[in-house]
């Protein structure tokens, strides 16, 4: 039996507080009623339910949160936000996790790696947009 080690070190605290900062929500308000997951139209497609993700954010479990597809499946329909009894903007938390991923683990795009064929096909605006979003520059 393997035990998942819980600690509240610098990296855990950094992750939790960053998600709180980006979303503007108090993650610790969540008391695990599960209403967000219950009402989510896409819960069945998520690898972890939303309340499970909330708990992992409380515990600072960055890898587990980011590995899961939960926040990417989220369609930001705001059902969770509207229903949360603790008035947490859950969709904002999901968005914060997406933003965290983009801010801290950007997928870099090198212009030279893109095939010439593709460059001819894609619109200029898409190229500029993806450089802005995904390059380290």
Partner 1 sequence: MRIGVYVCECGKNISATVDVEKVVDYAKSLPYVASSRVYKYMCADPGQELIKKDIEELKLDKVIVAACSPRMHEPTFRAAIEDKGLNPYTLEIVNIREQVSWVHDDKKKGTKKAKSLVKSSVMRSALMEPLDRKKVGVTHKALVIGAGIAGIQAALDIAGSGYQVTLVEKTSSIGGKMAQLDKTFPTLDCSACILSPKMVDVGRNPNITLIANAEVEQVDGYVGNFEVKIKKKPRYVIEDKCTMCDDCVAVCPVIAHDEYNQNLSPRKAIYIAFPQAIPASYIIDPDDCLGIDPLICSKCKDVCGPEAIDFDMKPEIIEDEFGAIVVATGYDTYPIENLGEYGQGNIPDVITGLDFERLISPGGPSTGALRRPSDGKLVKNVVFIHCAGSRDPAKHLPYCSKICCMYSTKQALMFKHEVRDGTAVNFYIDIRTGGKDYEEFYQRAAEEAKVVYIRGKVSELIQDGDEILVKGVNTLTAETVELHADLVVLATGIIPSQGTKDIASVLRLSLGINGFIKEAHPKLKPVETSITGVFVAGCATGPKDIPETVSQAGRAAVRACNIIAQDEIEVEATIAHVDEMLCRGCGVCVETCPYSAITLIDTKRFGNTYKVASVNEALCKGCGSCAAACLNGAINQFGFEDKQILAMIQALGEE
| Chain residues in the site for partner 1 (CB under 8 A) | 1-8, 26, 28-29, 31-32, 51-52, 55-56, 58-59, 86
Question: Among residues 11 and 29, whose Cβ is nearest to partner 1?
Answer: 29
Instruction: Say how far apart CA 4 and CA 49 lie, in whole Å.
Output: 18
Distant-in-sequence, close-in-space partners of 11: CB < 8 Å, separation ≥ 6: 60, 62
Q: Give, to the nearest 10 degrees, the angle between helix 90-104 and helix 10-23.
A: 120
Structure tokens at 63: 């890898």
> In terms of CB distance, is 1 or 118 closer to partner 1?
1
Q: How far is the CB of 108 from partner 1 (least distance, A)?
A: 32
Instruction: For the CB of residue 96, give the shortest distance to partner 1 in the complex, in Å.
Output: 17
Give least dist CB 114 to partner 1, A. Answer: 40
Contact 46, 69 (CB under 8 A): yes
Give min distance, CB of 30 to partner 1, in A. 8
Of 55 and 130, CB closest to partner 1 = 55
Nearer to partner 1, 10 or 117 (CB): 10
Query: What CA–CA distance (Å, rounded) separates 3 from 97?
Result: 25
CB closer to partner 1 out of 7 and 63: 7
Which tokens go with 94? 């999901």
As measured in angstroms, the least distance from the Cβ of 69 to partner 1 is 16
Question: How would you classify residue 60: left for phi > 0, otherwise alpha for psi between -120 and 50, otherwise beta?
Answer: left
């Amino acid at each position: 039996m393997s035990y998942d080690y819980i600690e509240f070190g610098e990296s855990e605290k950094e992750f939790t507080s960053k998600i709180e900062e980006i979303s503007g929500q108090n993650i610790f308000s969540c008391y695990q009623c599960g209403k967000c997951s219950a009402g989510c139209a896409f819960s069945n497609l998520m690898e972890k339910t939303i309340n499970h993700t909330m708990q992992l954010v409380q515990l600072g479990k960055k890898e587990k949160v980011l590995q899961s597809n939960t926040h990417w499946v989220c369609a930001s329909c705001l059902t969770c936000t509207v229903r949360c009894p603790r008035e947490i903007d859950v969709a904002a938390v999901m968005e914060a996790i997406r933003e965290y991923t983009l801010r801290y683990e950007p997928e870099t795009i090198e212009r030279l790696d893109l095939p010439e064929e593709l460059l001819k096909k894609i619109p200029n605006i898409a190229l500029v947009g993806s450089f802005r979003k995904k390059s380290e520059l």
